[in-house]
A and B are shown apart, each in its own frame.
Chain A
Amino acid sequence: MALKDKLHDLKMKYAGTKMSPVFNAFHTFLYAPNETTHSGSHIRGADDLKRTMNTVIMALVPCLIFGMFNAGYQHHLATGEINSVTGGFFSAEFWSSSNFWVGFAKVLPLVIVSYVVGLAVEMFFAAKNGHEVEEGYLVTGMLVPLIVPIDIPLWMLSVAVIFGVVLGKEVFGGTGMNILNPALLIRAFLFFAYPTWMSGDKVWVHGAVERTNEIAAGSNADAISGETLLGYYAKFGQELKYKAADGITEITTTYGDRANELYSIWDMFYGFIPGSVGETSTLLILIGALFLIFSKIGSWRIMLSAALGALAMGLIFNFVVDSGWITESSKFYGLMSTTYWHHLIIGGFAFGAVYMATDPVTASQTNKGKWIYGFLIGFISILIRVFNPAYPEGVMLAILLMNVFAPTIDHYVVQGNVKRRMKRLKAKTA
């Protein structure tokens, strides 16, 4: 085959130069390399890191496509061009081409910027340090556009990606060496550097920010508000005034009631709610999770224990509310009184638990440790969610926190093994 031979000649030409890792990064995407075993086992299993990462990306694609539709849907809903879905998951109001194209035009640039900037940084460091480009960013690059608000400016995303990849990963030595999940670090950077772009009721629906600016400039169009469910619940008892469908009558209600009126449980589960691009559809995340578990790529231990942890914390809060230890006037009442299992389907919890907590590098590396690590992520996510409603999502901070503690958990699990060995020795010599 001519192409194969030409590329081989090119590879040989670049071998040993700074260009070599960059060329190989592209070459290996076309052809699996011709490397053979040199030591130890003469045969090797079929999986490599690229295949593994690719499997995670495949599990993310449904969320990405749903995110495109949802971006258009939320936009059109807010501008009043369409009505809410009525027909379940396959509602025609949602799966329309007009929804898709609006979302596609917004999400595709996010994906492209994320990959181009992130991979450029990776390749720069690979060329500089003379190692191959490792595949870690393939998944990170897909996660990033899915966990940011739809209207985030692209320059902001670029800055965050550079920050996340350089300080989150490369300074530790690249893929496999990092302590914090790079995708979440990118989101955390955005969150703390540009808080107005990452929280509130103006960023989750495409066009909301633009409209706010227009109004400030003197336009008399209606403001687009796209509060996330967590935002509603956080302000549960507060009074909310909004204009009815006729555009004149002013209705007064509370945030909690309004949320329940707007979104049903099924809406939350299907994902027809405002939020970061890809995090809303619990249904598709669940399908992705099953695919990851079936393909043995994602850790079911972490996913399951994270869900258990979240349920446990939710139950504790429900118990607090039921026991009357907290009154409705408390600012924590709304999220605390949320039915415990609803926590799994609102906010980014499901997305975080399935795709981010399971990052093998930053998670616990022992099977026992994974149970503890996952459980604490779920537990702390809901804790932060309830007690710190200013942060719209606790799962990001919970995972980052547990990333830091994962080595400690592993240490104690491994020490258990070491102690068993010492005990055996003692029994022998005694």
Chain B
Amino acid sequence: MSKDIRIKKGLDIKLQGEAEKTLTNAVASNVYSLLPVDFHGITPKLIAKVGAKVKTGEPIFYNKEVDSMNFVSPISGEVIEVSRGEKRRITGIKIQAAKEQTYTEHGTFDLSSADAEKVKNHLLVSGCWPFIKQRPYDVIANPTKSPKAIFISGYASAPLTACYDFVLQGKEAELQAAVTALGKLTEGSVHVSVGAKSSNPLAGLNGIVLHKVSGPHPSGNVGTQIAKIDPINKGETIWTISPQDLVIIGELLLTGKFNAERIVAVGGSVVKNPKYYKTKIGAEVASMIYDAGVDSDNFRVISGNVLTGRAVKPDGFLGYYDNTVTLIPEGNDYELFGWNKPVFNKISNSRALTFSWLTPNKKYDLDTNTNGEHRAFVLTGKYEEVFPLDIYPMQLMKACMYGDLDEMEALGMYEVAPEDFALTEFVCVSKQPHQEIIRKGLDLMLKEIG
């Protein structure tokens, strides 16, 4: 049964520098990097040591807890650096790209005869498994569990993110193969959502339950869609995958090759020519941002969108799951009487001498300033205005802060991921780190309950 999702609570943050829908091939990156920070909760065990020559799709490390879960190289070349942090934990692996690209051959996969176990093993070995994430806990899916449903959100509502209608063009065959394979992993449905007015290739797939989504951000968040369609109860698991990762899985199934190709939207107010680039997972962001042009010398590069992405240095790397690179000005400057003068150039969901309510369609140039200092929770009822889930956000965060597992469970912790709290964090008058609070809460639960 298809069900359309319409939400009212939320906030569309309109920013300057939306990527123009033209595709450019990014300059080939010299070095690619795999960063374990992208794989939350995974302890990497290294396979390819420094100096090892790897093909594209060859395992670089595996998951300590699940031996069969490989993380593979997005490129052919030589491992040149393994950086380590505390307790010799691996924090990054750099691979120097070779001139000739070679692939690890997995052979075409016979979808019609495969069962769940076979699909699972194929994905684990080939390095495609990490694309599948699970709720609760928002971590890479546990292959020993069977999900009650699989959710794919084909509607990107966060500010300046890559538009799926554009980046998925012509990928119907890959998407179909991936969806068919994933359908074998669950007894429930594969729920796919697209924007109400979109021309998304996902809408034409077979073997899915299609949902049309409308309303402000976070309508495109998969967490919002799960809550509206099939909320997670205690003991249940739902898997989620982003559409561009489906393409990689699909290509692997069809051709036997792990092709880490990504179409990335490079945008933000300091980008001169915001547009789309074809590159690969783990590429240097410099290979794109300087081609697009940067109009500032004090800016922040974010791998991902402004709400949930990770800050990277200009010589840093594209995150494993990211299809967006955003550049916004750093806001590390003082503002005279910033706390009481009328504000026209920032977004607010109050009207306390803030005037963004007058210009709902204006595009803003927001910087990274917090616009105030960290305070205790004071105001109430603000978060609920931008939070469409049937959960009390402040109460849940407080439960996380004092680590009461029973209360976290009762208040709906199994249903949330940090990204669901990005908007409450944005509007928070007390400037509390909501996503960090939720992440820590989830980690605590995962450790104690599992």
Q: Chain A interface (Cβ within 8 Å of chain B)?
A: 4, 7-8, 28-52, 54-55, 132, 134-136, 173-177, 294-297, 299, 360-361, 363-367, 370, 410, 414, 417-418, 420-422, 424-425, 428-429
Contacts and interface: CB of A to CB of B under 8 A. Distances in A.
B334 A32 contact: yes
25 contacts: A31-B334, A32-B336, A34-B332, A35-B332, A35-B370, A37-B368, A37-B370, A39-B436, A40-B433, A40-B434, A41-B426, A43-B306, A45-B426, A45-B429, A46-B346, A48-B429, A48-B431, A49-B378, A49-B430, A55-B352, A135-B375, A296-B350, A299-B381, A417-B390, A424-B231
Interface stretch (B53-61, B117-125, B391-399): B391-399
A231 B379 CA distance: 36
B300 interface: yes
A370 B379 CA distance: 13
Interface in B228-278: 231, 233-234, 236
B31 interface: no
B215 interface: no
Given A42-B306, A425-B234, A48 B339 contact: yes
B411 A45 contact: no
A425 B232 CA distance: 9
Contacts of B7: none
Nearest to B366: A43
A92 to B, nearest CB: 33
Contacts of B302: 42
Contacts of A428: 233, 236
B180 interface: no
B297 to A, nearest CB: 16
A420 B427 CA distance: 27
Contact of A28 (B234, B339, B368, B376): B339
Contacts of A429: 233
Contacts of B380: 299, 360, 363-366
Given A42-B302, A46-B371, A51 B352 contact: yes
Contacts of A48: 339, 370-373, 375, 429, 431
B381 A367 contact: yes
Given A34-B369, A37-B368, A45 B353 contact: no
Nearest to B336: A31
Secondary structure dominating the interface of B: loop
A138 to B, nearest CB: 10
A184 to B, nearest CB: 17
B352 A45 contact: no
Interface in B317-347: 326, 328, 330-340, 343, 346-347
Contacts of B429: 45, 47-49, 51-52
A360 B370 contact: no
Given A44-B369, A45-B371, A52 B352 contact: yes
A134 B374 CA distance: 9
Contacts of A363: 380
Contact of B347 (A7, A45, A176): A45
Interface stretch (B39-47, B138-146, B286-294, B307-315): B307-315
Contacts of A299: 380-381
B428 interface: yes
